[in-house]
Amino acid sequence: MKVNLRKINRPADHAACWCGSGRAYAECHKAQDDRLDGLKRAGYKVPNRKLIKTPAQIEGCREAGRINSLVLDAVAAMIRPGITTQDIDDAVAAKTKELGGIAATLGFEGYPASVCTSVNNVVCHGIPSKKVVLKEGDIINVDCTTIYNGYYGDASRMFCIGEVSPEAKKLVDVTKESIELALKHLKPYSHIGDIGYYVNYHARKNGYHVVREIGGHGVGLQMHEDPYVCHIGQLNKGMVLAPGMIFTIEPMINEGTGAFYQDEHDGWTIYTADGSLSAQWEYEILMTETGYEILSK
């Protein structure tokens, strides 16, 4: 006999909802559970309850995202030619502490800094250094994750240092546009594959390649949670995106091929294989009943 596992632990209609909202189940998550059950029976992959944040968790993530954006705002205010990427790390550490947060990357699996700074042909995970001085024409991704009251905010921004080449500016702009295009089509009960489809479509349309192997992820209670968000995908494929899910969209788009390699000495820095430029933007997204909310960018 086939059993629908999602229904085993359902509360009674009049009982308190499993999400902790205090509302009756019939007035809270019952309709969503019914819809996800139907999608599962139709053969779609649906999220389990662990991937759907409760109202209290959503509020915690919303505040962490706000703090994370303020840290990135502080970077935006100070970044310029002549500073080092270590200066950026110092600024992130100071602003995070001032706001009452914790820099999530510091010490994470041995990572030695409070932020990732990826310059020019660095795809991601660039380690700040006193030796890396930003100069006119550089592009840099600053990737910041902040823990606030136990919740995680996560986003990254690209910065053009002084006057950059038209080619570099286009790459930076197209990468951000790819997220915006995906967001135009993002709606409750759409699919993860839709995100990858639109990101990759826009990148390839402009002659670029998306890094397939490194992507977005669930976030909020931990720095990295399920599901994995690949930025190459197919429409109507992959996990259903239900209200209450929080995840990042963070395409890494290369001017050349999508190939890359990892620095064998520091074990973190990812470079484009052909030395071409790479760009990345990252938004933290909450799925809602009516669409989505950007928690940090």
Is the pLDDT assigned to residue 263 strictly greater than 50? yes
Given pLDDT bands bounded at 50, 70 and 90, which one contains residue 45? Answer: very high
Is the pLDDT assigned to residue 5 strictly greater than 60? no
Q: Judge whether 41 lies within some domain.
A: no
Q: Judge whether 32 lies within some domain.
A: no
Percentage of residues of the chain with pLDDT beyond 70: 97
**pLDDT tens per residue across span 90-124:** 999 999 999 999 999 999 999 999 999 999 999 99
Q: Judge whether 23 lies within some domain.
A: no
CB distance 145 to 105 below 8 Å: yes
DSSP 14-74: TSBPTTSSSSBGGGTTHHHHHHHHHHHHTT-----GGGS--HHHHHHHHHHHHHHHHHHHH
Helix (H) or strand (E) holding 175: helix 166-184
Gap between the Cα atoms of 200 and 203, Å rounded: 5
Roughly how many angstroms between the first and final C-alpha of the chain, as a whole number? 47
Helix pair 85-98, 55-78: axis angle to 10 deg:
140
Segments forming the whole domain that contains residue 76: 49-296
Contacts of 276 (CB under 8 A, 6+ apart): 121, 254, 255, 256, 257
Percentage of residues of the chain with pLDDT beyond 90: 97
Q: Judge whether 93 lies within some domain.
A: yes
DSSP 138-164: -EEEEEEEEEETTEEEEEEEEEE-SS-
Q: Judge whether 103 lies within some domain.
A: yes
CB distance 220 to 47 below 8 Å: no
Q: For the residues 13-40, what does the mean pLDDT come to?
A: 96
Q: Judge whether 26 lies within some domain.
A: no
Only one residue has tokens 């995906």, namely 182
- Nearest Cα to Cα of residue 225 among 123, 145, 158: 145
Is the pLDDT assigned to residue 6 strictly greater than 50? no
Question: What's the CATH number where 62 sits?
Answer: 3.90.230.10
- Nearest Cα to Cα of residue 285 among 213, 204, 195: 195
Q: Judge whether 6 lies within some domain.
A: no
3-state secondary structure (DSSP) of residue 285:
strand
Gap between the Cα atoms of 133 and 162, Å rounded: 13
Distance (Å) of CA 234 to CA 120, 196, 197, 219, 231: 29, 7, 5, 23, 10
What's the mean per-residue pLDDT of the chain? 96
Q: Judge whether 129 lies within some domain.
A: yes
Total tally of structural domains belonging to the chain: 1
